[in-house]
Structure 1
Amino acid sequence: MPRMRTGVRRCGSLVISLSVIVRLCAVSSLFSIAGSVWTRHQQERSIFLQDASDTFLLYEFLSGGLVIGRNHTVTLKDEELASTRPAKVFHRIVNGRVPKTPAAIANTLANVPSLGETLEMDNFEQLLLASVYAAHRGRLRDTEDRQLWGRLFCQLVGAVTHDLTRQVVRC
């Protein structure tokens, strides 16, 4: 009987990026106070991460792999996962609200609230998903582009980390 491989070889930096992102999601879930931002809406969700189970679902989406199309459209590699209702919400949010060019990401970072202010959940999630996008784009580019996407990733993670811990992250 042939031996099946269950693991998928991944670039070490991407695995580290995913690990950081999942930890940031988990921390945001733990530190959140039950409020209107985190409640489940019967209407269309404007944010994906509404509770801790969504954090684990996001990790499952990301570990299954993403495909970035020529027009910056993000889709899940795993067709079974992509067909689920949560995946449709994820696709709508990541393709509709997440900045996907260096200029758009820089503009989003420039509009991050000043020190001491807390991000709204939709802004937090936008920065978090933009960091996932930047990690993927950096992995697929040449050396010069990798440096640009790496700097953007660091700045995005720094903004998210600052929102959670109030510690400044230098890139």
Structure 2
Amino acid sequence: MLFPSAQRFKRWSSSALVNPVLQNSLDDVNMLFEFLLAEIEIDKGLRISIKDEELASLRKAKEFDTVCNDIIPKSITEIRRLSARLAAYPRELKKEDFERTVLTMVYTAYRAARSWKHQKNPWAESFISLYKALKHDLMFSYNKKPLH
């Protein structure tokens, strides 16, 4: 399992957002892009939020909040574990796993940009690992070999 917190979230949740996937249509893709362009904020507790109040009030924004705050990994250790699982993943990623990996990569880039010198390198390395995993996934049908 690539995102174990999604499993835990499924068991604990009684809401309709049991396994949210943000991108089910081109409009959803555009909305996700708008969320990211509108500027996100990460507070001291590592909660991610959309700064634009109007966008943040949309139903898709609630799903975005769930994925970003309850499912994607936030610590460098968890992100490294995800990268290791991705490197050993034997097939193409499911849509929700690809999406969550992209959002983890966005979070990692954000943290790298806002880290002090000695902290930048681990975040940058994690970003590169996630990038390589996504590139491998996009090229999977051509390569058909594990990522190393």
With normalisation by structure 2, the TM-score equals: 0.77
Matches within 5 A, 1:58-73: 58-73=32-47
Matches within 5 A, 1:100-115: 100-112=74-86, 114=88
Rounded Cα–Cα distance in structure 2 between residues aligned with 1:52 and 1:158: 25
SS at match of 2:62: helix
Q: Which runs of 5+ in 1 are unaligned?
A: 1-42
Matches within 5 A, 1:45-56: 46-56=20-30
Q: How many residues align?
A: 127
Rounded Cα–Cα distance in structure 2 between residues aligned with 1:70 and 1:117: 36
Residue deviations 1:126-156 (CA, integer Å, cap 9, x gap): 2111001001111111122122111111111
Residue in 2 that maps onto 1:164: 138
Rounded Cα–Cα distance in structure 2 between residues aligned with 1:114 and 1:120: 15
Query: Where does structure 1 differ by over 4 angstroms across 4 or more consecutive aligned residues?
Result: none
- RMSD across aligned C-alpha pairs, in angstroms? 2.0
Greater share of helix residues, 1 or 2?
2
SS at match of 2:20: coil
Rounded Cα–Cα distance in structure 2 between residues aligned with 1:165 and 1:53: 25
By how many angstroms is 1:105 displaced?
Answer: 0.4
Rounded Cα–Cα distance in structure 2 between residues aligned with 1:59 and 1:93: 15
Residue in 1 that maps onto 2:63: 89
By how many angstroms is 1:114 displaced?
Answer: 3.3
With normalisation by structure 1, the TM-score equals: 0.68
Q: Which moved more, 1:62-71 or 1:113-122?
A: 113-122
Larger Rg: 1
Q: Structure 1 residues 115 and 93, CA, compared in 2 at 3 Å: closer, same or farther?
A: closer
SS at match of 2:86: coil
Residue in 1 that maps onto 2:31: 57
User: Does the alignment pair 1:129 with 2:100?
Assistant: no
Give identity over the alignment, percent: 29
Rounded Cα–Cα distance in structure 2 between residues aligned with 1:157 and 1:113: 11
Contact 1:68 1:75 in 2 (8 A): yes
